[in-house]
Structure 1
Amino acid sequence: MHPSLSVIGKRSDFLAANRGLRVARPGFVLLANPNGGKGMRYGITVTKKIGNAVVRNRMKRRFRELLWAALPEGGLPDHDHILIGRDGGVERDFAALRTELAAALTRAAEGKGDRPRPPRHRRSRRA
């Protein structure tokens, strides 16, 4: 692991990253959010929709390697970078994922995110 990278562990930091830039790619979604001088940090999220624990852990290992390789050069300084696994991400070629991550980091550095997701409304309980 690169010495200037640290891991995001708190749920509140993951939720805060949702307010930042969002760049979607076929294998993952990259979230980049300024963290107020806490350095370059990364986090990985893979939901149960993707597959069983074996599949999710393989995807997380692949994402970790991608981030360790790409962030020291291409990451945004003092930003949180979060990769959210998408359905086809496990089967994708590692080289393809690497180029997609580089392109996503470039877009994020230019400030060109995809349109923000609409807010999820909680259903109100009826009395």
Structure 2
Amino acid sequence: MEKAYRIKRNEDFQAVYKKGQSVANRQFIVYRYKGTDLDHFRIGISVSKKIGNAVTRNRIKRAIRETFKVYKEDMVAMDFIIIARKPAAEMTVAEIHKSLTHVLKIAKGFNKKMN
């Protein structure tokens, strides 16, 4: 994922948390915020140490990034913060993809109707 698609600064994270809306399922919480003058989406990923060791956390982050790469063209131009919950540690990459897609549909993160 290119740098332009990432949220890295603490101020950006805090703006999304304070001004954005959240949607959740059992595995993920998604905060979304329509910032000003964005031409594409940006994502921030948060996976707590409570979820598992570094290998587990990095596997979850890679699966989240891969989901966004697959739907790159279909995403609404806004900021998203994805917070992984404990059950995500036990999931396969395909299950993470399916669960994250589900919560993004609820959050209205896609430009068009997805199957």
Shift of residue 96, structure 1, vs aligned partner:
2.9
Shift of residue 95, structure 1, vs aligned partner:
2.8
Quote the Cα distance in structure 1 between the aligned partners of 2:72 and 2:89: 20
- The answer to whether the 8 Å contact 2:52/2:89 transfers is no
Shift of residue 98, structure 1, vs aligned partner:
2.2
Relative to its length, the structure with more helix (as a share) is 2
CA RMSD of aligned residues (A): 2.0
Structure 1: runs of 5+ lacking an equivalent: 111-127
Shift of residue 92, structure 1, vs aligned partner:
1.5
Q: In the TM superposition, what are the counterparts of 1:15-94 in structure 2 within 5 Å?
A: 15-19=14-18, 20-38=20-38, 39-73=40-74, 75-77=75-77, 79-94=78-93
Quote the Cα distance in structure 1 between the aligned partners of 2:96 and 2:54: 21
Overall identity of the aligned pairs, in %: 34
Given the two structures, how large is their TM-score scaled by the length of structure 2?
Answer: 0.78
Given the two structures, how large is their TM-score scaled by the length of structure 1?
Answer: 0.72
Quote the Cα distance in structure 1 between the aligned partners of 2:89 and 2:72: 20
Measured against aligned partners, the alpha-carbon deviations of 1:34-89 in whole angstroms (never above 9, x if no partner) come to 1212231111111111122222111111111112113431x222x10111111111
Aligned length in residues: 106
